[in-house]
Structure 1
Amino acid sequence: MASNAPPPEATGAVLVKSVEMPEGSQKVEELDFDKFRGRPITAEDLYEGMKNMGFQASSVGEAIRIINDMRAWRDPETGEGTTIFLGYTSNMISSGLRGIFRYLVQHKHVACVVSTAGGIEEDFIKCLGDTYLSSFAARGADLRAQGLNRIGNLVVPNANYCAFEDWVVPILDRMLAEQEASRGTDHEIHWTPSKVIHRLGREIDDERSVYYWAYKNDIPVFCPALTDGSLGDMLYFHTFRAAPRQLRIDIVEDIRRINTLAVRAKRAGMIILGGGVVKHHIANACLMRNGAESAVYINTAQEFDGSDAGARPDEAVSWGKIKVGADHVKVYVEATTCFPLIVANTFAKGA
């Protein structure tokens, strides 16, 4: 005789009895736009509505909380705040995020910046010519024939790089002359990447520039891979122009400078957009103090190839680059999508 009851094996598999959730467990919350009827929706409204939404919305919420904790902390004896290391890759400067980085440096919200060569030169190039929106699908061969260079869905006319050459080469000439004139004196000039960037920030004299404000506020900008871009091209061509003399740029002095900044920090915080040399250069500096107390990573790289770019913060804990028990989060979101919301709820809040 057939039974009307489902098989007990199926019932046992599907209707597994759950345990009681621990007291204080956070419930998933929903963003209800009806709550904002009759008034504008603010960046804080979005943050409050998203932080318990789950997935990467909650990671963005964690990043906001951690950064606000970085900003609020003060050493009980000296009153010093967190030394915040900001890192970003060159594509970020090419995008409209450049204005946010400029804001952070102009208002002294960070202690130092680490970027790649493109993240330096593109800032100056944008003072000399515009970058334009294009498409990720724009054909490389067609763009090459038109003298246009694609960065994702942006294009930069090659004329901008020609303008950069016209601007930067005379500066390199003057820097070389100063270097040679100082030889054998008590004030011999040793150029480093951070000193080169400081000088270029002074020379650009343009308030749109991130590095103009870094120069004005004496915020060091480190670029261990300074030659990996158009600036490297200019330095290469300059070796022929200036022969047999040559501009010398010392990376050893800069590694001492950034590591010392980390060692002397009362508390260290890392905000790193993207991966590669930028991410590791900051993390390795914090190793010198047995790790940063807080860290926010923002990138879309995965960890499964073993690269540092995709590594989660916990891997840095194993190296001593982030302290055991430190506050950290990795946000798996493309930075232009989330960093404006993060800054609006942290550094720019109440500005």
Structure 2
Amino acid sequence: MPSDVPSVKGPDFSEPLGLQEFLDSYLRIGFQATNLGRAMDVVNKMLAWRLSDEPVAEEEAPEYRDPAVRASTRVNIFLGYTSNLITSGIRESILHLIKTRRVHALVTTAGGVEEDFIKCLAPTYVGDFAMDGAALHSKGHNRTGNLILPNKNYAAFQDWMLPILDTMHDEQEQQGKVWTPSRIINRLGKEINNEESVYYWCYKNNIPVFSPAITDGALGEMIYFHTHKRPGFIVDIAADMFAIETLSVTSKKAAMLTLGGGVSKHHIANAMYMRGGADFAVYINTAQEFDGCDSGARPDEAVSWGKIRPGAVDVVKVHADATIVFPLLVAATFARHHWEEKKNKNNKNEESSA
């Protein structure tokens, strides 16, 4: 056995363990714990890579003004996630990444957009997987896994959303405004004006949110209600395709970080194809590859399509529920970097003032 192959070893609880020491132990546990440990290493490499050793000041962070985008000296990280993760408490982990500008583009579905705004208007509740569907329906409640979303939440969303659609339609007709999914989400982030919203911070930090399936949810129903009353509202998905692929091809290095499968995973992978493949990739999902669906495909399948660069070593799939492992990944990587940078900055300020 080569000397650099690690032996299997789990965390030692005979002494108190700090969080970072505990997370570092995952790499040697085995099975999916080891894959999670590898994912932590890959994300840390994403965050550490830059063209030069000079630090990039926060005010110099890359801005994205559609359709023109410019490349960063760092890795551009494309984060994709399914709608149920915004419904869950993973929303707050994603919020941290946006507030601290740790990722550079988001891709999600309609539910991944609207549920963020709905939570600003009314809470989502923790229930149980075994709750009776008919009984919930009779009470005006909807179940997503073990989470409960009352109908009144969607009524509040409708009351908030429809007047904004009217205004946007006015701007289309009077000013020639072209609405794309990313521009709609940007506008809604501005309108919600709530610091608990992921998309408010996307608006504030100029981080684009791509949602090619934006009509597949309550947002689509709002567009339907609006169009039934006032036909002619147009959403241009081609312009967003241009924007995400331009961001991909102008990236010095590009990384895929995907939670779940479906459109949110493949839309990023497809954009990576245009630049010859991603340089880094971390998949977290529970899907299997045996039905041939892209949701469960392992990274090597993406290599065959040119969506991950041939020979790329910083790639891993974690077969796990993202609600369990993504907060651990964030704690070991994005949050760790954020607080270490703040600490170093504070130390430098103290030294310069001494």
Structure 1: distance between partners of 2:18 and 2:230 = 55
1:77: Cα distance to partner? 9.8
Structure 2: distance between partners of 1:164 and 1:251 = 23
Structure 2: distance between partners of 1:155 and 1:252 = 35
2:304 to 318, 328, 332: 318
Matched, 1:26 2:6: yes
1:234 to 213, 222, 238: 222
1:177 to 138, 153, 170: 170
Matched, 1:278 2:264: yes
Instruction: Show the 5 A alignment for 1:111-122.
Output: 111-122=104-115
What do residues 289-317 of structure 1 show as CA deviations (whole Å, max 9, x unaligned)? 00000100000000000000000000000
2:185 to 197, 214, 226: 197
1:46: Cα distance to partner? 1.5
- Matched with 1:68 is 44
- Matched with 2:255 is 269
- Matched with 1:348 is 335
1:295 to 261, 277, 281: 281
What do residues 40-71 of structure 1 show as CA deviations (whole Å, max 9, x unaligned)? x3321221222101011111100100000000
Secondary structure of 2:28's match? Answer: coil
Contact 1:43/1:341 (CA < 8 Å) preserved in 2?
no
Tell me the amino acid that sits aligned with residue 52 of structure 1. Answer: R
Secondary structure of 1:297's match? Answer: strand
Secondary structure of 2:78's match? Answer: strand
RMSD (Å), alpha carbons: 1.2
Q: State the identity as a percent.
A: 55
Structure 1: distance between partners of 2:139 and 2:18 = 42
Structure 1: 5+ residue stretches without partners: 1-20, 183-187
- Give the number of aligned pairs: 320
- Matched with 2:66 is none
More helix by share: 2
- Matched with 1:35 is 15
What do residues 91-110 of structure 1 show as CA deviations (whole Å, max 9, x unaligned)? 00000010111110111000
Structure 2: distance between partners of 1:33 and 1:77 = 38
Structure 1: distance between partners of 2:264 and 2:22 = 30
Contact 1:28/1:53 (CA < 8 Å) preserved in 2?
yes
Structure 2: distance between partners of 1:30 and 1:298 = 22
1:59 to 9, 18, 35: 35
TM-score w.r.t. length of structure 1: 0.89
Q: Where do 4+ consecutive residues of structure 1 move more than 3 Å?
A: 76-79
Structure 1: distance between partners of 2:78 and 2:171 = 31
Tell me the amino acid that sits aligned with residue 307 of structure 1. Answer: C
Matched, 1:328 2:342: no
Secondary structure of 2:317's match? Answer: strand
- Matched with 1:15 is none
Contact 1:299/1:335 (CA < 8 Å) preserved in 2?
yes
Structure 2: distance between partners of 1:101 and 1:266 = 24
Contact 1:127/1:206 (CA < 8 Å) preserved in 2?
yes
1:48 to 24, 32, 38: 24
Structure 1: distance between partners of 2:19 and 2:220 = 40
Question: CA, structure 1 residues 77+290, in 2 after alignment: closer, same or farther (shift >3 Å)?
Answer: farther
Secondary structure of 1:298's match? Answer: strand
Structure 1: distance between partners of 2:140 and 2:131 = 13
Tell me the amino acid that sits aligned with residue 99 of structure 2. Answer: Q
Contact 1:313/1:322 (CA < 8 Å) preserved in 2?
yes
Secondary structure of 1:33's match? Answer: coil
Tell me the amino acid that sits aligned with residue 335 of structure 2. Answer: A
TM-score w.r.t. length of structure 2: 0.89
Structure 2: distance between partners of 1:24 and 1:221 = 42
- Matched with 1:185 is none
Contact 1:301/1:309 (CA < 8 Å) preserved in 2?
yes
